[in-house]
């Protein structure tokens, strides 16, 4: 193989994406508009009046879907949250399930049975009531095998769910519609994550969807929901537009008239759009351009606490990546401290394990596999790894930190006889590829948690719906099941300490570095609650208001 053919430099990697994004920043009429003029024209073209309060949020990657049964990435989840509304709302700052917000107004627990009372004035955007029957129908949709929802595992602890999935029952025995606004859910076993997982439940109208395919029906091209905003349009790779819902159950919300969620597939171009005022905010500008963004006095920015680390995810369908020794060798051959020093500009750090460092379950005594290229070579020799073997390695184009990580890893692994075939992909394409298991090494991780450690079970349990690597470890499976059912936090923490160390040692993922995010928004927007959940600063966008000028 001609080695130079597949080697990348930052300059080469950036070229195509940056050119595309720069072209997208031109005014929609074809004139080379910039800054506020471009912003005003984009708002007008989206169908808003000049006096309406609209926010333009820049995102690096396009959402894969707005079908809540199929969503499996940050952008898709956030858009679903804006359109459909969560059944149980999780506080963006504390991560605690919070009564009084979300479609579930309140709940009680008796043994293993939850009784949920729905918001009395919760309606879909067409004015029809959101009922307990709609909620039960939506849960069945997540569980139905034909839907193939990646979120199905979040509802398996409901009594009768497994039988329904297996086809031995036509109903889920643990679901009981008491009346139009009351739903009982009985669990088959304790589940410490159950309430948290109900944030992924977006109630949909049974009357409109019953009998239809919940994975590909055209209804999802122009859906209705009970969220703060109503779907307006979607230009894939460009602008996703939603307008204020006139029927939202929370009085006085949303405070904005609309959203334009704009894809700018390059972190540097996105930062330029912020600097010039062409967009109003983002959590994805290149953090290394913080000083340039700060030149716009109308912008405020914060750097939130670290989420779970970035790194590499390995597909066990590859015969060599299925070997623990090869995965460990990859981890031990990359000098992550040097990458952090070279690329993160003092804003990131070396990652440790799958749990965010501020999470209650994080083990501060956790140790990474050491940086040791000599030992890495020994591990490869122990399994007769053929020198020069190449792995397909992908990251999302436009994410300059991940692009640097790919190049840095490629150079480090060459020293121990491992080659890369770089396959940079647009974000939504990459999401589809991971869902289809069409990858070998991926630098966008479908693993690791920021808020609820119980989600590790869905990512690492053998054959779980969110296990995209094919990893299996019976000892880890047992610990994950124990942790799921353990309601005592101190005991759960002990279990999660063991879980984290096993994941580091087995290395189905290489949790290598903490990605620094830069949350930026125009000062005209207020009533903001910082968060580390999806879209961070914009997690609770329905609360935003525009300050009086």
Q: What is the pLDDT of residues 280-329, one digit of tens each?
A: 999 999 887 888 888 889 999 888 999 999 999 999 999 999 999 999 99
pLDDT at 10 over 70: no
Predicted confidence at residue 505, as pLDDT, reads 98
pLDDT at 67 over 50: yes
CATH 3.90.76.10 spans which residues of the chain?
104-219
CATH 3.10.105.10 spans which residues of the chain?
306-514
Mean pLDDT of 489-512: 98
Predicted confidence at residue 43, as pLDDT, reads 96
Q: 33 pLDDT band (50/70/90 cuts)?
A: low
Phi/psi of residue 78, each to 5°? -65, -40
153-157, 256-260, 301-305, 500-504: which has the minimum mean pLDDT?
301-305
CATH 3.40.190.10 spans which residues of the chain?
13-76+229-304+517-546
- The DSSP symbol for 123 reads B
Predicted confidence at residue 540, as pLDDT, reads 95
Predicted confidence at residue 105, as pLDDT, reads 97
Mean pLDDT of 125-149: 97
pLDDT at 484 over 80: yes
Q: Over the stretch 427-459, which tens digit does the pLDDT of each residue have?
A: 999 999 999 999 999 999 999 999 999 999 999
pLDDT at 3 over 70: no
Mean residue pLDDT across the chain? 92
pLDDT at 1 over 90: no
pLDDT at 31 over 90: no
Among 369, 365, 384, smallest CA distance to 329 is for 369
Strand order in the sheet with 441-442: 349-350, 509-514, 310-314, 441-442, 389-394, 418-422
Predicted confidence at residue 200, as pLDDT, reads 96
Contact call for residues 260 and 43 (beta carbons, < 8 A): yes
Predicted confidence at residue 345, as pLDDT, reads 82
Whole-angstrom distance, CA of residue 298 vs CA of residue 523: 6
Q: Over the stretch 337-383, which tens digit does the pLDDT of each residue have?
A: 999 999 998 889 999 999 999 999 999 999 999 999 999 999 999 99
Whole-angstrom distance, CA of residue 84 vs CA of residue 208: 14
Mean pLDDT of 497-525: 97
Among 522, 524, 525, smallest CA distance to 541 is for 525
How much is the pTM? 0.88
- The DSSP symbol for 518 reads -
Mean pLDDT of 47-51: 92
pLDDT at 27 over 80: no
Q: Over the stretch 354-363, which tens digit does the pLDDT of each residue have?
A: 999 999 999 9
Q: Which tokens belong to 237?
A: 């790779």
Q: Over the stretch 77-126, which tens digit does the pLDDT of each residue have?
A: 999 999 999 999 999 989 999 998 899 999 999 999 999 999 999 999 99
CATH of 104-219, one of 3.40.190.10, 3.30.420.10, 3.90.76.10, 3.40.50.620: 3.90.76.10
Helix axes 267-276, 10-24, angle to 10 degrees: 40
Contact call for residues 372 and 400 (beta carbons, < 8 A): no
Domain 306-514 is found in CATH 3.30.565.10: no
Whole-angstrom distance, CA of residue 130 vs CA of residue 242: 20
Among 358, 314, 530, smallest CA distance to 453 is for 358
Q: 549 pLDDT band (50/70/90 cuts)?
A: low
What's the fold here for domain 13-76+229-304+517-546? Answer: D-Maltodextrin-Binding Protein; domain 2 (3.40.190)
């Amino acid at each position: 193989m001609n080695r130079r053919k597949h080697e990348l430099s930052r300059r080469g990697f950036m070229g195509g994406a940056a050119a595309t994004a720069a072209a997208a920043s031109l005014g929609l009429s074809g004139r080379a508009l910039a800054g506020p003029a471009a912003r005003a024209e984009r708002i007008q073209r989206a169908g808003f009046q000049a006096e309406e309060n609209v926010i333009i949020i820049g995102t690096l990657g396009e959402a894969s879907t707005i079908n809540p049964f199929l969503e499996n990435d940050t952008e898709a989840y956030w858009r679903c949250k804006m359109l459909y509304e969560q059944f149980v709302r999780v506080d963006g700052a504390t991560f605690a399930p919070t009564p009084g917000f979300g479609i579930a107004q309140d709940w009680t627990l008796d043994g293993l049975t939850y009784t949920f009372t729905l918001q009395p004035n919760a309606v879909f955007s067409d004015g029809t009531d959101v009922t307990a029957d709609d909620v039960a129908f939506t849960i069945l949709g997540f569980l139905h095998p034909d839907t193939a929802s990646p979120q199905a595992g979040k509802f398996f602890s409901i009594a009768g769910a497994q039988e329904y999935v297996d086809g031995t029952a036509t109903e889920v025995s643990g679901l009981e519609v008491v009346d139009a606004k009351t739903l009982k859910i009985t669990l088959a076993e304790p589940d410490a994550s159950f309430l948290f997982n109900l944030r992924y439940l977006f109630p949909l109208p049974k009357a409109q969807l019953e009998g239809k395919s919940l994975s590909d029906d055209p209804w999802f091209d122009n859906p209705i929901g009970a969220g703060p905003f109503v779907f307006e349009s979607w230009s894939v790779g460009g602008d996703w537009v939603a307008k204020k819902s006139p029927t939202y159950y929370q009085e006085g919300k949303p405070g904005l008239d609309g959203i334009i969620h704009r894809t700018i597939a390059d972190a540097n171009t996105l930062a330029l759009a912020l600097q010039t005022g062409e967009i109003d905010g983002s959590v994805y500008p290149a953090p290394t351009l913080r000083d340039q963004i700060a030149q716009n006095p109308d912008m405020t920015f914060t750097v939130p606490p670290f989420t779970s680390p970035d790194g590499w995810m390995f597909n066990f369908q590859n015969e060599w990546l299925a070997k623990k020794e090869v995965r460990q060798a990859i981890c031990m051959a990359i000098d992550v401290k040097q990458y952090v020093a070279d690329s993160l500009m003092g804003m990131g750090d070396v990652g440790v394990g799958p749990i965010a460092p501020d999470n209650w379950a994080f083990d501060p005594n956790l140790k990474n596999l050491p940086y040791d290229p000599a030992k890495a070579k020994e591990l490869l020799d122990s399994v007769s790894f053929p020198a020069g073997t190449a792995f397909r390695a992908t990251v999302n184009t436009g994410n300059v930190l991940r692009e640097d990580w790919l190049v840095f890893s490629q150079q480090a692994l060459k020293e121990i006889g491992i080659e890369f075939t770089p396959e940079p992909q647009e974000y939504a394409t990459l999401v589809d590829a991971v869902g289809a298991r069409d990858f070998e090494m991926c630098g966008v991780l479908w693993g690791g948690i920021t808020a609820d450690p119980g989600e590790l079970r869905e990512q690492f349990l053998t054959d779980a719906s969110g296990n995209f690597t094919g990893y299996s470890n019976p000892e880890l499976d047992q610990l994950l099941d124990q942790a799921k059912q353990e309601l005592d936090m101190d005991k759960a923490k002990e279990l999660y300490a063991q879980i984290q160390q096993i994941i580091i040692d087995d290395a189905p993922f290489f949790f290598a570095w903490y990605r620094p995010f830069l949350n930026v928004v125009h000062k005209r927007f207020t009533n903001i609650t910082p968060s580390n959940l999806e879209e961070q600063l914009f997690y609770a966008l329905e609360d935003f208001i525009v300050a009086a000028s």
